[in-house]
Each structure stands twice: as structure tokens, then as C-alpha cells.
Amino acid sequence: MSAKNVLGIIFSNAYDEALPQLTALRTMGSIPFAARYRLIDFPLSNMVNSGITQVGVITKSNYRSLMDHIGTGKPWDLSRKREGMTLLPPYDTPGAGITIGKADALYGCIDYISDSKKEHVLLTDCNLICSMDYEKLIKAHAANDADVTIAYAKGTPAQLENGTELIMDESGRVSSTGLIDCYSGSTNYSIKVMVIRRTLLERLLHEAHSAKIVDLETLISKNVKHLKVYGYEEKGFVRVLSSLQSYYDISLELLKLENRKELFAAGRPVYTKVRDQVPAVYGIGANVKNSLIADGCHIYGEVENCILFRGVTVEKGAKIKNSIIMQDTFVGENSSLNCVIIDKAAVVKPNKTLCGDSNYPVYIGKGIVI
């Protein structure tokens, strides 16, 4: 079976509450990541690189920045007359509240799903960072003639609400799924990427709606016994964002070449909205070590173990270490920053000192002037 016969669905808001600072003004999907991306770039690019041609992006709230970022889907080649990308805003019927779970959200766009006429649906969240070849997952799904295939990773799961582990037999068939209660030690934890037969999904969603089940995991878990549910192991660089701390740690993991090689693998480009900025400019006296730098930066000071997003200015004498500085932020002369995460377009005036700890990075909000 080919990926062309699969509808992609991305939940842009899932787990927003895990990173309240970064999602205060935006969706999970539009959180800036890795110096020039937004989180949604990863699932969107993965879908395109895997040959999926129709993608629905489900939103719930605060999606202005997401719309601004994905536009008509052009950077991903998903701006099409037929198929392509569709933004699916919340569908609010009188008497119904705002959607609260993924099953609920899917029910709201059930017409879009059935109109796609695709054989299967691939669902993913945005807090998952990996370069994943969905085609392999789809092939495994077809080879097993499965109803549902859930991707999982081996290891210690991120601490998230609804963390699910898969119990499988030798053939990889899932006999039960359970909520993870212990976050130490290795397990096969679901990374919440799932392929499901479309007609089955529609049926389950109708059932869930009448039974008032809003959560997709619960829905699958309830039906696991009488469905053919398989697990699919995703190896390699797989990270799940679950808190500000994990955002910080995972970001800095990209300073290692082997991680970058996996996330930005040759032949699997990660696409994003182009900003048309000048290459980064390094001035006389600039001193940059072990850092990722985006275009549009102007660096005249010291930068070490950092991630600098597009359009960041580091003035002379400023020292930034172990920090993540988002787009268009200005760091004034002789300021000193260590272990901070600064959101977009903030200003650190000259001679300021801010210091967090690598186990407790300080977060500075969007547009704040210090």
C-alpha cells in the first residue's frame, strides 16, 4: 500500500498544557524549535517526505501564529488544487463546548476524514521530535493487515499525562495498552503516531461520541481486544517534549553532530516557512563555540553552547552561554546570560545579568524588555 492512500492528521494543540510558558500565546505546533523551525515542521515534512499528499491540521485555540506559519502549505509543497493541506479549526455546535480530547476533535472533522476517501489515516502530535519515515510504518501496517498500528520507542518515557505503554506478543500484536505509572526503567512507550483504517476510525468516533469518550487513547485501549492492533518500533533520534526542561534539554542535544545527522538526514529535508534573511553576520571580536546559528543573526559578542534563532543580535561584550534565544531578540552590550530561554523579540538591555541553572532554565516571555 502506498502513502498516497493515507490521510495525514496533525494535532497542533495536543499537550499544550505541558509547556504552558511557550504555549501561552501559541499552539504546540507553532513553538519555535532548533533555531529556524516550528514544531509542526517536523510532522509536516515527515508526511511530505513519506509521500503523503493530503494533510489535515487540527487546531483548538490560539492558532493565529500557526496559520501565519503554515499559510496555504506552500513550503511543504502542500498548496494544491486537489488534496494538499487543510487547516481544521474547532467545530463548535450549539451546546457543545470547545473540544477537549483528540477523539472529540476528530469527531468535529469527521466529514473531512470521510470525504478524503483514503483507506487509512495517520495521526500524530506535534510534541514529537524525530525524522520518521511514515512509509515504513504504513508498509508494516499493510503487511500485518492491521486495523491499527501504533508507533512506539523503547526507553524511559517522557512524563506526560496519558503516557501509554504497549504490551505485545512476539508477532508485535498489541494485547493491551496501559497507562504508564512508573517513569523509571525501560518500556515500550507509545509515541502517539498511529495508522488506522479510515472506516474503522469513523465507526469508533461515532461510538465514542455517543459514549462521551473524548480521548483517543482511551478509545483504542477499550477496543484493543477485538481489533488487530500492532506495534511498530521507531528507532533512532526520537524525543517527546513534555516540559520546559525537556524543551531545553532536547534543544541542546542538537549540538551533537550525531543527533543532527538523524534529525536532518540527507534526502529528508525539514521544510519551514522561508524568512528571506541575510546569512548570519559575525563581526570582529565575535566568539562563537559549539552553537547552532540561524540566518539573520548579528553576532559581535560571545556565544557558547547556544541555539540562536533567526534575527538575533548579540552586541559587543555580551556573553551568552547554555541558552536558547528565539527570533529577533536583542542582547545588549556586556550583558551576561546563562541557562536562559528567551522567547521571540525580547530585549535584554546592556549590562544585565540573567542566570538560570541547567536543571532549571529561566524563561523570558515574548517581547519582554529587561
Question: What Rg do the C-alpha atoms of the chain give, in angstroms?
Answer: 21
Contacts of 363 (CB under 8 A, 6+ apart): 21, 22, 244, 340, 341, 342, 343
Determine, following the binding rule CB under 8 A, whether residue 278 of this chain makes contact with another protein.
yes
Considering only 207, 233, 295, 333, the residue that binds another protein (CB under 8 A) is 295
Considering only 292, 318, 339, 342, the residue that binds another protein (CB under 8 A) is 292
Which residue's C-alpha cell is 479549526? Answer: 89
**C-alpha cell at position 142:** 499493510
**Element housing 137 (H / E):** helix 134-143
Identity at 181, one-letter amino acid code: D
DSSP 95: T
What is the spatial distance between Cα 121 and Cα 195, in angstroms, rounded to a whole number? Answer: 6
Contacts of 329 (CB under 8 A, 6+ apart): 309, 312, 313, 342, 343, 344, 345, 346, 347, 348
Determine, following the binding rule CB under 8 A, whether residue 277 of this chain makes contact with another protein.
yes
Determine, following the binding rule CB under 8 A, whether residue 293 of this chain makes contact with another protein.
yes
**C-alpha cell at position 173:** 500484536
Determine, following the binding rule CB under 8 A, whether residue 36 of this chain makes contact with another protein.
yes
Size of the site for another protein (CB under 8 A): 38
Q: Site residues for another protein, window 211-270 (CB under 8 A)?
A: 255, 257, 260, 263-264, 269-270
Which range of residues in 103-111, 196-204, 295-303, 318-326 is near another protein by CB under 8 A? 295-303
Q: What dihedral do alpha carbons 31, 34, 40, 43 form, nearest 10°?
A: -150
Within 13 A of 187's CA, how many CA atoms are on the CB side?
Answer: 21
Determine, following the binding rule CB under 8 A, whether residue 296 of this chain makes contact with another protein.
yes
Considering only 91, 112, 183, 282, the residue that binds another protein (CB under 8 A) is 282
Which range of residues in 63-71, 220-228, 236-244, 284-292 is near another protein by CB under 8 A? 284-292
Which range of residues in 86-94, 143-151, 293-301, 359-367 is near another protein by CB under 8 A? 293-301
Which range of residues in 54-62, 206-214, 289-297, 329-337 is near another protein by CB under 8 A? 289-297
Minimum CB separation from another protein for residue 361, in Å? 20
**Between 80 and 289, CB nearer to another protein:** 289
**C-alpha cell at position 295:** 540566518
Considering only 174, 205, 280, 326, the residue that binds another protein (CB under 8 A) is 280
Determine, following the binding rule CB under 8 A, whether residue 72 of this chain makes contact with another protein.
no
Closest CA to 102 of 199, 204, 22, 33: 204
**C-alpha cell at position 261:** 545527522
Minimum CB separation from another protein for residue 180, in Å? 32
Interface residues toward another protein, by CB under 8 A = 34-36, 74, 255, 257, 260, 263-264, 269-272, 274, 276-296, 298, 307-308
